[in-house]
Each structure stands twice: as structure tokens, then as C-alpha cells.
Amino acid sequence: MKHDSRPVYLLRLAIALIPAIFWGCQSHAPGDARVPVDNVYEVDDELPSHIQRVALLPVYWEGYQPYTDDYVDEVVAQALRESTRFEVVTIPREIMRDWYGDTQINSQTRLPRDLPQRILDDYGATGLMLVDLNHFRPYPPMEVSMKAQLVDISTGETVWTVDHTETAGNPALQEAAEKTEADNLDAPVEAFAQRASYSPRRFLAVVSQSLFHTLPKRH
């Protein structure tokens, strides 16, 4: 692995990756979200121009089971790509195991100090996306509580974060999905009322798409 001559920068980044508490940060409900999402924080309404490639860590979920829940990473990664804000590279769980002896890392704890350098060296990413499933009930009544956080690797600053809880039985979610489908024939919520009410994959996809739709735009 290459060595970086910027120890001060790495120290700043390692400290900044410690989860922040966003009390007092401005929240808003983006009008173009697929499902209404309220608890959103962003430093600016425009993405930093240098964040062109983002590394996505494996989704942290305490209840994750290999072979039965492997769709979770795939669904979240696809939703992030569909936001079209930047190029997305995924870090496989096998790589995380090789690096740190575990397949996933909870963003609510201190992240490994050398993680930023590994991402820079091996993936050339300028941003880091962390996603936690704080709660996911993939059976009726389905419910998910998700947190996502985008970190600028060059500064260690969290430029965007979102925290949202959704239930499949929420009428507002179904109404938003139906409106999206009516406005866009290619909407990923096709046949939502018939499928998302019993498909964990579809439900997680709709919620993930909604969260990532609140990312700052690229102008």
C-alpha cells in the first residue's frame, strides 16, 4: 500500500469520520423526493465539484445474514447509482473482512484510521458513503429506519446526511409512489401497490431511492 505524506490531513479525516450529532442543523422536505423525507442535512445545495467518485461501504445491518440478505447491498448500491450524482464504486464485504476482520462497519462507531487511505489508494474515490439500517423488518408489517452519510474525503467534512423511518403501510408512501409512477413510465416503483407491500426488496428500493434523491444536485 502506498504511503501518504499528509498525516495532518489523515488525522483530520479520521476525527471527522466520528459520527456527528446534527442537533440544530437545518432540515427540509425536498419536493422532488419519491417519498417525503424530512430529516435531511446538507452543507450546500450543490455537491463539491471534486466529488466525482464515491466509495460505498457494505450496508451495516445488525441482523444481516449472508446468503439470505445479500440483496441489501445490491439494492442500496443501485439506488445510489440511480441518483446520477457521481460514479459509485462498491467495496465488497470480502474486502472489508480482509482489511478489518469483519464484513461491515457501523458508522456510529469510530471508523478505522487507515480506511480513508485505503479508499484513496485502492479505489481512487473522493467521497465515502456510509449507510446504516438501524432497523429493518423485512416481513409484514415491513419497516425500515435508515441513515446515510456522505463524507468528503479531501476535507473530512460530512457534506450530506439523512435519517428516515418508513413503513410499508404508510398511505403517504403509497400515494407518493403512485404519483411517481403516473409521472414517469420508467419509475422504479412500478406496480408498487401490488408488490412493495409484500416484497422486502421492492420496499427497501423505494425508500433508498427516496433518501438518495435528496442528495445535493450537481450544477
Which residue bears the cell 452519510?
149
Residue 31 to residues 26, 42, 180: CA-CA distances in angstroms? 16, 15, 12
Residue 37 to residues 27, 45, 77, 151, 214: CA-CA distances in angstroms? 10, 16, 19, 20, 8
Which residue bears the cell 439523512?
162
Judge if pTM exceeds 0.95: no
**58 close to 72: Cβ distance less than 8 angstroms:** no
Copy the grid coordinates of residue 116: 480513508
Q: How far apart are CA 130 and CA 8, in angstroms?
A: 23
Cα 118 → chain centroid: 20
Domain range summary for the chain, segments of one domain joined by + = 7-20+47-166
Q: Which residues contact 218 (CB under 8 A, 6 or more apart)?
A: 46, 47, 85, 86
Reading the chain (219 residues) residue by residue, the pLDDT tens digits are 444 444 434 434 443 443 332 222 333 333 333 677 889 999 998 999 999 999 999 999 999 998 889 999 999 999 999 999 999 999 999 999 999 999 999 988 888 888 988 998 999 999 999 999 999 999 888 899 999 999 999 888 899 999 999 988 777 666 655 655 555 444 444 444 445 456 888 889 889 999 999 999 987
28-32 long-range contacts (CB < 8 A, ≥24 apart) are: 30/213, 30/214, 32/213
Q: Would you identify the CATH topology of the domain 7-20+47-166?
A: Rossmann fold (3.40.50)
